[in-house]
């Protein structure tokens, strides 16, 4: 979102309280949504539940194109549309709901850094496995991405998306990596997260923050999504404190409605 629009949204946001009919949009759950999008959507849902803000999840086939930035998920609150976790956190902060108030500066720096770690390594690895690994792309990603559309439109869109993601991977330097190297990076990232979490219930001791929501979203999705190989889930499972972390958050915030 541009700066001017952000400032405007913050002003407007501060004016009204959180309405009852806030909605979160994501692609179709059963047939269409992919691992990376589901992880991002779950992270936002977890964050909003942690803040105690009610939101209704609506599935639309064209959610990706409805979003103002082209990324999933986005929320429709009042008459504003905000997409992606970062801007949503700022948006709720403008309305007076925040989870990271009690952190000091150093802790906040660490929280932001670890969030970037998740984006930089976990999310990129998810995209790589989905679209750059030929087996997964052919068996899972392309069929799912093209499912709402008829032939030949679905095929064209799926190949277009694959090509786009591959270009991005080349730009960030992941183009030359092998699948094994990507799994190694995932392990490294999980190890770093596991180290940081240690034996605490949440990353910053007693209180859940947006970092917890983001990590939960990604790890839980990796653990519960079926891919062509279970390697990715195995790498995450080898860190037991991360497993219990996911289970704890699921029980605390999602159990009443089931997830």
Partner 1 sequence: MGTVHARSLDPLPMHGPELGVQADDIEAPEIEQEPKQEVLENKDVVVQRVHIDGLGRTKEDLLSYEIAEVFRANNLIDVMRRSHEARQKLLRLGIFRKVEVVIDTSQGEDALPNGLDVTFEVTELRRLTGSYNTMVGNNEGSMVLGLKLPNVFGRAEKLTFQFSYGTKETSYGLSFFKPQPGHFERNVSVNVYKVTGQFPWSSIRETDRGISAELGFPLWKTNQTLKWEGVWRELGSLGQTASFAIREESGHSLKSSLSHAMVIDSRNSSILPRKGGLLKIHQELAGYTGGDTSFLKEDFEIQLNKSLIWDSVLSASLWGGLLLPIGDKTTCIADRFYLGGPTSIRGFSMYSMGPQSDGDYLGGEVYWAGGLHLYTPLPFRPGRGGFGDLFRTHFFLNAGNLCNLNYGEGPQAHLKKLAECIRWSYGLGIVLRLGNIARLELNYCIPMGVQSGDRICDGFQFGAGIRFL
Partner 2 sequence: MAAPDELFCWEGDWGLPSVSTDCLVVLAYAQFAGAPLKLRKICNPWRSPSGSLPALRTNQKKTLSRPSDIIVHLRKRKYNADYDLSAKEGADSLAFISLLEEKLIPALIYTFWVEPKNYVDVTRRWYAEHMMFPLNFFLPGRMQSRQLEKLRLLRGDENLEAGEELEKELYQDAAECMNLLSQRLGSQKFFFGDSPSSLDAYVFGHLAPILKCKLPNGKLQQHLKSLDNLSDFCSNILLLYFPRDGRAENSGEKASPQPDAADFDSVPNKRRKQFLSALFAFAAMLSYALLTGMVSVQHVHQEALEEPPDPEHIGSHEHEEEGDG
SS (H, E, C) 104-152: CHHHHHHHHHHHHHHHHHHHHHHHHHHHHCHHHHHHHHHHHHHCCCCCC
- Cβ neighbourhood burial of 142 (10 Å; 0-12, 13-18, 19+): buried
Measured distance CA(142)–CA(225) in Å, rounded: 16
Q: Is residue 121 a contact residue for partner 2 (CB under 8 A)?
A: yes
# chain residues binding partner 1, by CB under 8 A: 18
The only residue of 12, 66, 192, 233 in contact with partner 1, by rule CB under 8 A: 66
DSSP 37-53: HHHHHHHHHHHHHHHT-
Q: Is residue 254 a contact residue for partner 2 (CB under 8 A)?
A: no
Q: Is residue 93 a contact residue for partner 2 (CB under 8 A)?
A: no
Strand order in the sheet with 74-77: 56-59, 23-26, 74-77, 80-83
Answer with the entry of partner 2, partner 1, none that 11 interacts with (C-beta below 5 to 8 A by kind).
Answer: none
Q: Is residue 43 a contact residue for partner 2 (CB under 8 A)?
A: no
| DSSP bridge partners of 26 | 59
The only residue of 52, 152, 173, 258 in contact with partner 2, by rule CB under 8 A: 173
How would you classify the pairing of strands 56-59 and 23-26?
parallel
| DSSP bridge partners of 76 | 23, 81
Answer with the entry of partner 1, partner 2, none that 61 interacts with (C-beta below 5 to 8 A by kind).
Answer: partner 1
The only residue of 60, 95, 97, 112 in contact with partner 2, by rule CB under 8 A: 112
- Least separation in angstroms between residue 53's CB and partner 2 is 25
x-or-dash pattern for partner 1, window 8-47, by CB under 8 A?
----------------------------------------
The only residue of 79, 171, 206, 255 in contact with partner 2, by rule CB under 8 A: 171
Termini Cα distance of the chain: 30
> Rule CB under 8 A: which residues touch partner 2?
2-4, 69-71, 105-106, 108-110, 112-114, 116-117, 119-121, 167-168, 171-173, 176, 188-189, 191-193, 195-196, 198
> Rule CB under 8 A: which residues touch partner 1?
5, 60-62, 64-66, 68, 76, 79, 81, 149-153, 156-157
């Amino acid at each position: 979102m541009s700066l001017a629009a952000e400032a405007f949204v913050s002003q407007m946001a501060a004016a009204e309280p959180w309405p009852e009919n806030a909605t979160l949009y994501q692609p179709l759950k059963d047939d269409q949504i992919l691992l990376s999008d589901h992880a991002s959507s779950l992270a936002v849902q977890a964050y909003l539940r942690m803040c105690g803000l009610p939101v209704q999840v609506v599935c639309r086939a064209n959610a990706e194109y409805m979003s103002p930035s082209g990324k999933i998920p986005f929320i429709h609150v009042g008459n504003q549309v905000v997409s992606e976790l970062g801007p949503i956190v700022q948006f709720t902060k403008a309305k007076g709901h925040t989870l990271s108030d009690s952190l000091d500066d150093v802790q906040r720096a660490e929280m932001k850094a670890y969030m970037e770690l998740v984006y930089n390594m976990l999310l990129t690895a998810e995209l790589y496995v989905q679209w750059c690994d030929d087996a997964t792309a052919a068996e899972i990603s392309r069929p799912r991405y093209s499912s709402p559309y008829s032939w030949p439109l679905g095929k064209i869109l799926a190949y277009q998306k694959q090509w786009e993601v591959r270009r991005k991977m080349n730009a960030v330097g992941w183009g030359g990596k092998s699948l094994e190297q990507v799994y190694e990076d995932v392990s490294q990232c999980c190890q770093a997260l596991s180290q940081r979490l240690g034996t605490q219930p949440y990353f910053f001791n007693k209180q859940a923050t947006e970092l917890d929501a983001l990590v939960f979203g990604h790890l839980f999705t990796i653990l519960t999504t079926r891919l062509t190989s279970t390697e990715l889930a195995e790498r995450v499972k080898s860190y037991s404190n991360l497993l219990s972390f996911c289970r704890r958050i699921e029980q605390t915030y999602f159990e009443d409605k089931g997830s």
